[in-house]
Amino acid sequence: MTHRFEEILLEQAQAWLEVNIDQAGYETGNAAIKNISLAVKPGVLTGLIGPNGAGKSTTLKAILGLLPFADATVEFHGKANHYAYIPEQPVFYDTLTLWEHLGLAAAVYGMDEPEFVREAGALLEKFRMTESRDLLPGGFSKGMRQKMMLMIGFLGRPDVYIVDEPFIGLDPRATKDFLGLLEEERRRGAGVLMSTHVLDTAERICDELILISEGRVRASGSLDDIRTAANMPSASLFDCFDALT
Ligand SMILES: Nc1ncnc2c1ncn2[C@@H]1O[C@H](COP(=O)(O)OP(=O)(O)OP(=O)(O)O)[C@@H](O)[C@H]1O
């Protein structure tokens, strides 16, 4: 009962993020993506899918204002632009330990010391990284670095998560831990925009999908909407992807 009531409230809530990209790219006049509109709504996980070079990362960069050229409107409606971006390639300081990275992020998020210690400690446990807390990430494996980026993102408990291909490098257990935490955050009301190539997972967890190819949206909506666009009423997302791209 409570859950249904929460769901109704979430459905009525305004989107956390609304994006309209007319065109954007890496040099003026040469658009890598065109006519991409999307909204990130409370509790909703939107999957951005498409082949290599389709424009998924470019779309996320356009939203974050990281491109040299973007003819776009990006509106955040939450608490003072409170979002987390979790990039595909981990970015870190060679001279700071995992714990110090988390501390730096906590300072940026404005967390006090007891809250930081509690939340960061819980995340280390969740991602099974407690033993590595005082180590430098330069010596971490790809998956451990990816986990560090995820922990930094989750620490601030933002309204919006923008996640670029989180699954590559994570082992099945870490993937399960990540998806569990993402689900908790969605129940809290956070919205998620996530690019991925892992289509069987996308099919299972995404509420909405945006399929991009050659910088343009080919289909969007629920899995059924994607199936309709592909004219394949009971196909898997993988088969629809294949047909539409
Ligand atoms: N830094 C860059 N400078 C110039 N062009 C770029 C740059 N990064 C990407 N592009 C171009 O923009 C287009 C879209 O690339 P993008 O990285 O957004 O694809 P993607 O869908 O994220 O692909 P992948 O699945 O391989 O990560 C491609 O044609 C690519 O060559």
What's the pLDDT tens digit per position in 30-49?
Answer: 999 999 999 999 999 999 99
- pLDDT at 21 > cutoff 60: yes
> How far is it, in rounded angstroms, from Cα 222 to Cα 121?
37
Ligand 1 pocket check: which of 23, 30, 33, 56 to mutate, most ligand atoms within 8 Å of Cβ?
56
What's the pLDDT tens digit per position in 181-206?
Answer: 999 999 999 999 999 999 999 999 99
Please indicate whether residue 32, judged by its CB atom, sits closer than 6 Å to ligand 1: yes
Supply 96's token pair. Answer: 């700071």
Q: What band does 10 get if pLDDT is binned at 50, 70 and 90? A: low
Average predicted confidence (pLDDT) for the chain:
91
What's this model's pTM, rounded to 2 decimal places? 0.90
Domain 2-244: which topology? Rossmann fold (3.40.50)
**Phi and psi for 54 in degrees, rounded to 5?**
-70, -30
Give me the mean pLDDT over the 140-150 stretch. 95
- Which is the closest atom of ligand 1 to the Cα of 27? 4
Supply 99's token pair. Answer: 């714990």
> How far is it, in rounded angstroms, from Cα 115 to Cα 102?
12
- pLDDT at 2 > cutoff 70: no
What's the pLDDT tens digit per position in 103-135?
Answer: 999 999 899 999 999 999 999 999 999 999 999
List CB contacts of 135: < 8 A, sequence separation 6 or more: 97, 98
> How far is it, in rounded angstroms, from Cα 215 to Cα 62?
12
List the chain domain ranges.
2-244
> How far is it, in rounded angstroms, from Cα 232 to Cα 230?
5
- Which is the closest atom of ligand 1 to the Cα of 61? 18
